[in-house]
């Protein structure tokens, strides 16, 4: 008997209702992953690894946060920006999606990383909103080459400044810039364009390896059946990944996250994303040293759920992108980088209604689930 996913809500929030080929592909994906339709690998080695992952998940501390009124003046102040592109940052007294606000979080609302074992964060309905792995996961992304790669990536031409702002909580400093790389839906027409192909091959390969490391963090901290189903549907629907080369020189492609978004000194509106799977965010200190490793660089905020997650250099936060969220303004005076790894629902659909469904895709669309 199939078991439904423990957190199906972000499968359905952005499920399209149209009968076009692109929309039907997205619905086929969401229906399949809702019940984790596909069988797991059966090798002894694979089953042993799955067992170890499940034990680690069971050992994680579970914390539940009930929705609460955040209009109080005690505790730590965390800023986030919710203004649109044409309006400068402001600080009204109340928060809502689409508005900027000062948010006050008391100590009981701050989720902090632990050294041994991670934290599974749920709401009052026992739905998983986010997973904060233990700090050992930070080592996989925060190696010496990461900062150089991120700086090089932001040094390319395809960057913008309109969608985010660079005002810091402690001091205004540093220009805010951002870029998004990987296969993207063409906004004014059908099809998909991979803007990572514009990058220098060395930079592209380094970005590819960073995304692969983020995928490994997710695979080590999320239900194996869930991840396996996502990867299987990505393959069946021929969703493009981020392409690059491993250090061995072998060509490869990401299987979970096709895209990377990167910003320097950003803080963003409270928003939800039309992503089809869980996402990861990570922050990096541009001047990281051993003495500053414990400095909190920014907070990833869930204002409607009533808590914020403290992020240090290299920390990875796995989160539900359909829960209203935002990254706070930076909590240090030096420049910080914020990365996001994600998979857009529109990308799964293919963004091309002239591309008819294959027989396999039709079977996936027509599949009935208990």
Q: How far apart are the first and last CA of the chain?
A: 9
Q: Which of 85, 76, 306 lies closest to 170, judged by CA?
A: 76
What is the residue-averaged pLDDT of the chain? 75
pLDDT digits (tens, 9 = 90+) for 230-277: 999 999 999 999 999 998 999 999 999 999 999 888 877 677 888 989
pLDDT digits (tens, 9 = 90+) for 70-118: 444 444 445 554 443 344 333 333 333 334 444 545 566 677 765 556 7
Angstrom CA distances, 348 to 8, 24, 335, 352, stand at 18, 10, 34, 11
pLDDT category at 163 given cuts 50, 70, 90 is very low
Structure-model confidence comparison of residues 324 and 10, the more confident one: 324
- b/e map 282-321, b = 16+ CB within 10 Å: bbbbbebeeeeeeebbbbbbbbbbbbbbbbbbbbbbbbbb
Most confidently modeled range among 21-30, 35-44, 45-54: 21-30
Percent of the chain scoring above 70 in pLDDT: 70
Rounded Cα gap, residues 282 and 318, in angstroms: 9
Q: Which of 110, 336, 137 lies closest to 218, judged by CA?
A: 137
Taking residues 312-322, report their average pLDDT.
90
Q: Give the distance, in angstroms, between the CA of residue 123 and the centroid of all CA atoms in the same chain.
A: 18
Q: What is the pTM of this model?
A: 0.82
pLDDT category at 289 given cuts 50, 70, 90 is confident
């Amino acid at each position: 008997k199939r078991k439904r996913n423990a957190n199906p809500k972000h499968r359905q929030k952005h499920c399209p209702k149209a009968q076009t080929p692109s929309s039907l592909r997205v619905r086929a994906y969401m229906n399949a992953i809702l019940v984790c339709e596909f069988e797991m690998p059966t090798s002894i080695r694979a089953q042993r690894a799955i067992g170890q992952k499940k034990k680690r998940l069971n050992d994680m501390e579970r914390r539940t946060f009930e929705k609460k009124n955040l209009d109080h003046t005690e505790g730590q102040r965390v800023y986030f920006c919710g203004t649109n592109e044409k309006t400068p940052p402001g600080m009204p007294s109340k928060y809502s999606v689409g508005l900027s606000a000062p948010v006050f979080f008391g100590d009981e609302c701050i989720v902090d990383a632990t050294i041994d074992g991670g934290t599974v964060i749920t709401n009052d309905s026992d739905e998983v909103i986010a997973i904060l792995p233990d700090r050992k996961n930070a080592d996989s992304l925060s190696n010496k080459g990461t900062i150089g790669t991120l700086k090089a990536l932001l040094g390319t031409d395809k960057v913008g400044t309109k969608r985010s702002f660079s005002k810091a909580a402690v001091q205004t400093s540093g220009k805010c810039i951002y870029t998004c790389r990987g296969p993207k839906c063409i906004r004014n027409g059908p099809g998909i364009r991979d803007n990572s192909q514009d990058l220098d091959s060395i930079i592209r390969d380094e970005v590819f390896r960073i995304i692969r490391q983020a995928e490994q963090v997710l695979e080590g901290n999320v239900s194996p059946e869930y991840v396996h189903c996502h990867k299987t549907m990505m393959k069946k629907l021929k969703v493009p990944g981020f392409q690059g080369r491993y250090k061995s020189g072998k060509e490869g492609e990401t299987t979970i996250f096709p895209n990377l978004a990167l910003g320097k000194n950003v803080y963003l509106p409270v928003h939800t994303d039309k992503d089809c799977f869980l996402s990861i965010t990570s922050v990096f200190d541009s001047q990281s040293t051993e003495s500053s490793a414990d400095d909190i660089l920014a907070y990833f905020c869930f204002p409607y759920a009533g808590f914020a997650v403290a992020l240090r250099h290299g920390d990875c936060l796995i989160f539900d992108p359909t829960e209203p969220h935002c990254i706070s303004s930076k909590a240090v005076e030096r420049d910080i980088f914020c990365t996001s790894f994600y998979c857009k629902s529109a990308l799964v659909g293919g963004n091309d209604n002239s591309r008819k469904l294959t027989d396999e895709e039709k079977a996936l669309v027509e599949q009935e689930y208990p």
